C-alpha cells in the first residue's frame, strides 16, 4: 500500500457492504477496536500486553477498546440459558398442583368477580376492576342497606385521617382524604343513609279567626258568667 493509499485510508476509510446490504465504513480507529476485542475476548491475550501493542498507557482505555460486542453478549446469553435449562426442569418448577390452583381461585374470588362483598354492598363486575378496588361510590357496586354502617365507619375514619394529615401539612394525603370523604357522602345520599325524616309541621287552624289575620287582636273576648255570649272590652 502506497503512502497515498494509507493516508486515504486513515482519512476516509474503506467502504464495504454488510450482510444486510448497507455500506459499512471501516477506518483505522474501528480496526483498533476490532483488534483489541479479538485479542482479549477471543484469543485471551492479557490486557496490559494489548495496551502495549496499541501504545495505550491507560488500561481503562484498552478495556473500553476490547469490550464485547452485542453479538458476543447475545451468544453467551443464549449459551447460558441452554445450559441452565438442561439442568433445571422449568416445567416442573412452574407447574401447580390442583390444590394450589383451587387455592388461587378462591383467593381471587375474594378480590374480584361477580357479587364479591365489598364495603357497603356487593360488586357486580365480571371483569378486572377498572377502579383500582376503590369501592366507595363505585357505579358498579350494588349498595346493601344492611352494610351502611361500613360506609359510615369509612367516613369516620377518613375524617380522622384528614384532621391528622392537615395537622402534619401532608398535601397529597389531605387531598386523597377529601376525595374519599366526598365519595362517602355521595354514597350515603345514594343509598338513602343521609335521608332525614321530614319534620312535623303545625296543622293550620281549619276555622281561622277573621278578626286576627295574623296580627294581635285589638279586642279580648271572654264569656260573661252565666251566659254564652262573649263580652267585648275596649
pLDDT, tens digit (0-9, with 9 covering 90-100), for 198-224: 444 444 554 555 555 545 455 545 555
Distance in angstroms (rounded) separating the CA atoms of residues 14 and 95? 56
Query: Could you tell me what percent of the chain has a pLDDT over 70?
Result: 66
Distance in angstroms (rounded) separating the CA atoms of residues 12 and 26? 9
pTM: 0.36
Beta strands in the chain (DSSP E): 14-17, 23-26, 116-118, 121-123, 141-143, 220-223, 230-233
Q: What pLDDT, on a 0 to 100 scale, did the predictor assign at position 170?
A: 92
- pLDDT per residue over 7-57, tens digit each? 455 555 566 676 777 777 777 777 888 889 989 988 889 989 999 998 888
- pLDDT per residue over 51-81, tens digit each? 999 888 898 999 988 888 888 888 888 888 8
Q: Which residue has the cell 433445571?
A: 88
Q: Average pLDDT, stretch 125-138?
A: 75
Distance in angstroms (rounded) separating the CA atoms of residues 181 and 161? 10
Residue 157 has pLDDT above 90, yes or no: yes
Distance in angstroms (rounded) separating the CA atoms of residues 134 and 184? 11
Q: What pLDDT, on a 0 to 100 scale, did the predictor assign at position 16?
A: 67
At 133, give phi and psi (nearest 5°): 60, 25
Pairing of strands 23-26, 14-17: antiparallel
Amino acid at each position: 500500500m502506497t503512502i497515498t493509499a494509507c493516508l486515504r485510508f486513515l482519512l476516509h476509510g474503506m467502504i464495504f457492504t454488510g450482510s444486510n446490504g448497507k455500506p459499512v465504513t471501516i477506518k483505522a480507529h474501528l480496526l483498533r477496536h476490532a483488534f483489541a476485542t479479538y485479542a482479549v475476548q477471543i484469543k485471551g491475550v492479557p490486557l496490559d500486553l494489548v495496551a502495549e501493542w496499541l501504545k495505550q498507557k491507560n488500561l481503562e482505555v484498552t478495556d473500553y477498546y476490547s469490550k464485547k460486542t452485542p453479538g458476543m453478549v447475545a451468544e453467551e446469553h443464549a449459551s447460558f440459558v441452554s445450559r441452565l435449562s438442561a439442568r433445571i426442569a422449568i416445567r416442573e418448577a412452574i407447574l401447580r398442583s390442583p390444590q394450589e390452583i383451587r387455592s388461587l381461585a378462591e383467593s381471587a374470588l375474594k378480590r374480584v368477580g361477580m357479587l364479591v362483598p365489598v364495603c357497603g354492598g356487593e360488586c357486580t363486575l365480571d371483569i378486572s376492576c377498572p377502579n383500582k378496588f376503590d369501592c366507595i361510590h363505585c357505579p358498579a357496586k350494588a349498595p346493601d342497606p344492611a352494610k351502611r354502617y361500613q360506609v359510615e365507619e369509612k367516613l369516620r375514619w377518613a375524617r380522622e385521617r384528614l384532621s391528622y394529615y392537615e395537622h402534619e401539612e401532608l398535601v397529597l394525603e389531605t387531598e386523597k382524604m377529601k376525595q374519599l370523604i366526598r365519595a362517602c357522602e355521595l354514597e350515603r345520599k345514594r343509598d338513602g343513609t343521609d335521608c332525614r325524616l321530614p319534620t312535623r309541621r303545625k296543622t293550620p287552624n281549619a276555622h281561622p279567626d277573621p278578626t286576627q289575620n295574623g296580627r294581635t287582636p285589638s279586642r279580648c273576648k271572654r264569656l260573661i258568667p252565666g251566659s254564652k255570649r262573649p263580652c267585648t272590652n275596649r
